Structure 1
Amino acid sequence: MNSVFHQVALIGKYHAGAGGTAAAASNRAALEDIAQFLVAEGCDVAIEHDTASASGIVGYPVLDVAAIGTQCDLGLVIGGDGTMLGIGRRLARHGVPLIGINQGRLGFITDIPLDRYRQVLAPMLRGEHEEDRRSLMQACVMRDGRCVFKAQAMNDVVVNRGATSGMVELRVEVDGHFVASQRADGLIVATPTGSTAYSLSAGGPLLHPANPVWVLVPIAPHTLSNRPIVIPDSGEIAIELVAGRDASANFDMQSLASLLHGDRILVKRSDHQVRFLHPIGWTYYDTLRKKLHWNEGGS
């Protein structure tokens, strides 16, 4: 037996037929190939329930996320960063480590190229890997003193104006201290993991994931002196919707809450972290250089 991991769960893209019939067939072929490779390495393989339904792959035990959390010692995610975000939030409480094989586009957190997975994955299964822990945010929408919506986020919590409306006015507090009233298209609260997502496109800084911080990034602020600010992730952020129509709060862009005036979005650090495993020698700087195309043509 080559692998130090005994029970491995395969998690893929959830949406059946996403990208068309050819893409669905390609997804299934990739999953089947990787499953056979894992078996050859001495692993017992299970397929995550939604992955099995979407791909139609058969011949392996099918487990829901809770069962993966209690029965598996590794999750292998085949897809893009969105797939990893979704399963990472759900498995964080179980402490199951995750390895990402990139079948998407950018792949900041699914960093093993699909066409090289055998060479890269084989030593990792033998225990030759780096571990990288990422913090989560726990958020809730408070209305009239009670929580009406709650969610976790690995990338960001975003308060947005409505699609056809003007700016929103937001009151921002950190640990009960008033920070600013902002008129803008919205506000992003991003983790270091999320600093390469929406936050980056809105002008926020890149944050190394080893830093225990968040960044607050206004989206198209009315006052140009409203700039991104990096704050410790040990406190609680409160964002109150003062004015603006059809505003919403997004959590990793995968869950959504409609907001009313006076609603407060409370954001604090979750008790759980996501565990990523990377090849030996991996660094965050390598990821940035490759994905952002820095120094192309250089040494």
Structure 2
Amino acid sequence: MTSKFRRVALIGKYQSPASSSASPDSARQALQDIASFVSSQGCEVIFESETAAHAGIHQYRSMDVDGLGATCDLGLVVGGDGTMLGIGRHLARYGTPLIGINQGRLGFVTDIPLEGYQTVLTPMLQGEYEEDLRPMIRARVMRGEQQVFEALAMNDVVVNRGATSGMLEVRVEVGGNFVAYQRADGLIVATPTGSTAYALSVGGPMMHPSIPGWVMAPIAPHTLSNRPIVLSDATEVVIEVVGGRDVSANFDMQSLASLLHGDRILVTRAEHCVRFLHPKGWNYFATLRKKLGWNEGGN
């Protein structure tokens, strides 16, 4: 059978050796092997330009991320969930489907182990896969009537106090309705994808990716009755900074905005979703069992 995909983008993890779990040589070899395999399946491989430069791979065409989105009909992301978050946010506007190959521990969204990837990838390139759409958050920081920062988030928006300061105080509105003033170390608004990240560690629920909602979860709240809540993602959440020092907003923990008293973070559902492709038979609960060590029973 021939491949369903004509042009395949290859995007890798290209941090410095000190910040990467894989050695430069092993990361380069993995990318070389994957590129060779995908080419053997009848696809044209195009490297993301930074990946090619850092890996020292020059025998394939390379493009920036926007070029890949406009040109390629599939993206292969080699790395971990952090690598996928960054590229997923960028390629969502192009509708480019993404497959994740994990170089380390099994990820929530990079779910194909590097070892034995050929067996899994072959039928996927021929069109046998499960498609999984993940919504994103659009967040804007307003200072008076002026927008001073904007970002997309696939996991979460986190408003945090400074490391050495006291509690943060925020005023929260949902859908134009006042909810409460909240005093806490911080506040998280997470997508279903992000419900298994930071929000989970502060006691938030896990949400199935098909649910059109968000988790809003306080971090170490002053009032114990201030609990995580599930919201519709059709509403706008407004978080206004009322008190606290060195306050900041993080977006997927990959971009940062410093906040002043009176700043408002406007959280809405983004226009585009991230498209993931998984092996045939994939399901969300199997991923949870593997990642969270749930008892499978029968023994």
Flag whether TM exceeds 0.5 (same fold): yes
Whole-angstrom CA distance in 2 between matches of 1:286 and 1:22: 26
Whole-angstrom CA distance in 2 between matches of 1:249 and 1:298: 45
For normalisation by structure 1, the TM-score amounts to 0.97
Counterpart in 1 of 2:138?
138
Counterpart in 2 of 1:197?
197
Q: Does 1:248 align with 2:242?
A: no
Counterpart in 2 of 1:36?
36
Q: Does 1:117 align with 2:134?
A: no
Alpha-carbon shift at residue 17 of structure 1 (Å)? 2.2
Q: Is the 8 A contact 1:81 1:104 kept in 2?
A: no
Kindly provide the amino acid, as one letter, of the partner of residue 222 in structure 1. H
Gaps spanning 5+ residues in structure 1: where? none
Deviations 1:194-231 (A, max 9, x none): 01110111111000000000010000000000000001
Q: Is the 8 A contact 2:157 2:251 kept in 1?
A: yes
Q: Does 1:49 align with 2:62?
A: no
Alpha-carbon shift at residue 104 of structure 1 (Å)? 3.3
Counterpart in 2 of 1:160?
160
Higher deviation after alignment, 104-113 or 16-25: 16-25
Whole-angstrom CA distance in 1 between matches of 2:194 and 2:106: 13
Counterpart in 2 of 1:98?
98
Counterpart in 2 of 1:294?
294
Counterpart in 2 of 1:257?
257
For normalisation by structure 2, the TM-score amounts to 0.97
Counterpart in 2 of 1:267?
267
Q: Does 1:176 align with 2:164?
A: no
Whole-angstrom CA distance in 2 between matches of 1:161 and 1:21: 30
Aligned-residue RMSD, C-alpha: 1.3
Deviations 1:39-87 (A, max 9, x none): 1111100100111122111200011111111110000000000000000
Paired residue secondary structure (1:70)? helix
Alpha-carbon shift at residue 19 of structure 1 (Å)? 4.2
Alpha-carbon shift at residue 106 of structure 1 (Å)? 4.5
* C-alpha spacing 1:58/1:297, structure 2 compared with 1 (3 Å): farther
Q: Is the 8 A contact 2:11 2:77 kept in 1?
A: yes
Which ranges of 4 or more aligned residues in structure 1 deviate by more than 6 Å? none
Whole-angstrom CA distance in 2 between matches of 1:108 and 1:296: 18
Identity of aligned residues (%): 68
Kindly provide the amino acid, as one letter, of the partner of residue 217 in structure 2. V
Q: Is the 8 A contact 2:248 2:256 kept in 1?
A: yes
Whole-angstrom CA distance in 2 between matches of 1:124 and 1:206: 28
Whole-angstrom CA distance in 2 between matches of 1:72 and 1:165: 47
Q: Is the 8 A contact 2:22 2:103 kept in 1?
A: no
Counterpart in 1 of 2:107?
107
Paired residue secondary structure (2:257)? strand
Q: Is the 8 A contact 1:101 1:111 kept in 2?
A: yes
Whole-angstrom CA distance in 1 between matches of 2:163 and 2:57: 39
Q: Does 1:84 align with 2:94?
A: no
Alpha-carbon shift at residue 168 of structure 1 (Å)? 0.3
Kindly provide the amino acid, as one letter, of the partner of residue 46 in structure 2. A
Deviations 1:233-255 (A, max 9, x none): 00100000100000100000000
Counterpart in 1 of 2:229?
229
Whole-angstrom CA distance in 2 between matches of 1:237 and 1:250: 16
How many pairs does the alignment contain?
299
Paired residue secondary structure (1:206)? coil
Higher deviation after alignment, 287-296 or 21-30: 21-30
Kindly provide the amino acid, as one letter, of the partner of residue 253 in structure 1. M
Whole-angstrom CA distance in 2 between matches of 1:94 and 1:145: 30
* C-alpha spacing 1:126/1:251, structure 2 compared with 1 (3 Å): same
Whole-angstrom CA distance in 1 between matches of 2:167 and 2:20: 37
Higher deviation after alignment, 31-40 or 46-55: 46-55
Q: Is the 8 A contact 1:214 1:230 kept in 2?
A: yes
Alpha-carbon shift at residue 23 of structure 1 (Å)? 1.1
